Amino acid sequence: MSGKKNVAILGSTGSIGTQTLDVIQAHPENFQVEVLTAQNNADLLIEQALKFQPNCVVIGNESLYQKVKDALFLKDIKVFAGDKAIADVVTMEGIDLVLTALVGYSGLIPTIKAIEAGKQIALANKETLVVAGEFVTQLAREKGVNIYPVDSEHSAIFQCLVGEFHNPIEKIILTASGGPFRGKDKAFLEHVTKAQALKHPNWDMGAKITIDSASLMNKGLEVIEAKWLFGVSIDQIEVIVHPQSIIHSLVQFEDGSIKAQLGLPDMRIPIQFALSYPQRLKVDFPRFDFANYPSLTFEKPDMETFQNLGLAFEALKRGGNAPCMLNAANEIVVAAFLQDKVGFLEMSDLIEKTLEKVTFIQKPSLLDYIETDNMSRIITEELIKKNI
């Protein structure tokens, strides 16, 4: 790599954000932290700022501004606060690449602002493409901006496509671990607790994405994201359950050949590839040993029991603002589940009802997406109140 990349990390205190900083710390000759942002974790943001000395930090929760400001007063680090500031700082001239690791819908506007400013994007916020995939990818093409996927599955597909961009894709195969409830029936799922749902067998992630993984909604969101990242149709996307999480995804070409990307479950690998592309930087992470995995298994997802995956396929097929409805409703029901307001299976029922109630728009504008997100949340909240 020629020179250092100046990186802005949106959501630096979360799981992806902290692992991104691990990667940057391991390669100080290649990367410089330019911006760090967090929503509520002021203590960790302060700690990160003191360690990595960014140009500026943003704390989303404005009530914590003074705390961060005071802690960094003697340092040459600018401090801002509020969601608008998060969207504004990505346009700073010194930034080369913006890694978006914000949770859910909150990643949409900052990512759009970064693309408008011509910044390269490392995307860990799949909801950006779920909510407004057509709008965002069109904008990226117009601005000449590359979107590098950070999700392990989409990074795997991207890696399989390196050197193959002139060859048409026949099929993308997204792998899913199956989550903590793989093989369980509806009778079991009716009584699962959030503590059970938060225990993912292979990955260490934040609460929201862990619940999404348990319900297979995470895989549904990844299906929608894959459609926009790789320009494929819904019929070219398949999901297969692979409990070992060693094969991170596969691509099948027109001659029947299949490429797969393998490795131990470690998010630092796809994060680093997104930051360093087209180079692969040497790391000392543990290596995969075939002898330790004598059997890699695969099975079809149970879409009858785990209805969220089917709802995501249906929303993608419907198009327009339907995936935006799906995402908003899901964010509300996951929060409700984590607050013990709804049961595990009820989440799918509530999402389905929201999809039926929100006004469908075939060709939405950005404002339409914003209004759809707001209305979907209101309707889902009302359905939850009636359900309690």
In the predicted structure, residue 388 carries a pLDDT above the cut 70: no
- Element at 379 (helix H, strand E): helix 366-387
Residues 32 and 223 sit within 8 Å (Cβ to Cβ): no
In the predicted structure, residue 260 carries a pLDDT above the cut 90: yes
Using one digit for the tens of pLDDT, what is the confidence trace for 19-65?
Answer: 999 999 999 999 999 999 999 999 999 999 999 999 999 999 999 99
Please, is 70 exposed, middle or buried when counting C-beta atoms within 10 Å of its C-beta (0-12, 13-18, 19+)?
Answer: exposed
Percent of the chain with pLDDT over 90: 92
Using one digit for the tens of pLDDT, what is the confidence trace for 318-366?
Answer: 999 999 999 999 999 999 999 999 999 999 999 999 999 999 999 999 9
* Residue 104 pLDDT grade (very low, low, confident, very high; cuts 50, 70, 90): confident
Can you give the pLDDT at residue 202?
66
* Residue 91 pLDDT grade (very low, low, confident, very high; cuts 50, 70, 90): very high
Mean pLDDT across 66-90: 96
Residues 18 and 12 sit within 8 Å (Cβ to Cβ): yes
Percent of the chain with pLDDT over 70: 98
- Euclidean distance between CA atoms 299 and 17, whole angstroms: 32
Strand 120-123 relative to strand 147-149, pairing: parallel
Using one digit for the tens of pLDDT, what is the confidence trace for 206-249?
Answer: 788 899 999 999 999 999 999 999 999 999 999 999 999 999 99
Please, is 172 exposed, middle or buried when counting C-beta atoms within 10 Å of its C-beta (0-12, 13-18, 19+)?
Answer: buried
Residues 6 or more apart from 88 whose CB is under 8 A from it?
80, 113
Using one digit for the tens of pLDDT, what is the confidence trace for 116-140?
Answer: 999 999 999 999 999 999 999 999 9
Residues 6 or more apart from 181 whose CB is under 8 A from it?
188, 189, 192, 196, 197, 214, 306
Can you give the pLDDT at residue 332?
97
249: left (phi over 0), alpha (psi -120 to 50) or beta: left
Can you give the pLDDT at residue 2?
58
Over its C-alpha atoms, the chain yields an Rg (Å, rounded) of 20
Using one digit for the tens of pLDDT, what is the confidence trace for 155-172?
Answer: 999 999 999 989 999 999
Can you give the pLDDT at residue 204?
65
Taking the CA of residue 98 as centre, how many other CA atoms within 13 Å lie in the half-sphere pointing to its CB?
Answer: 33
* Average pLDDT of the residues of the chain: 95
Mean pLDDT across 192-217: 85
Query: Partners of 22 in the beta sheet?
Result: none
Residues 321 and 328 sit within 8 Å (Cβ to Cβ): no
Can you give the pLDDT at residue 387?
77
The helix-helix angle for 152-161 and 217-230 (nearest 10°) equals 30
Strand 169-176 relative to strand 5-10, pairing: unpaired
Question: Please, where are the H alpha helices in 231-345?
Answer: 268-276, 307-318, 322-338
In the predicted structure, residue 90 carries a pLDDT above the cut 90: yes
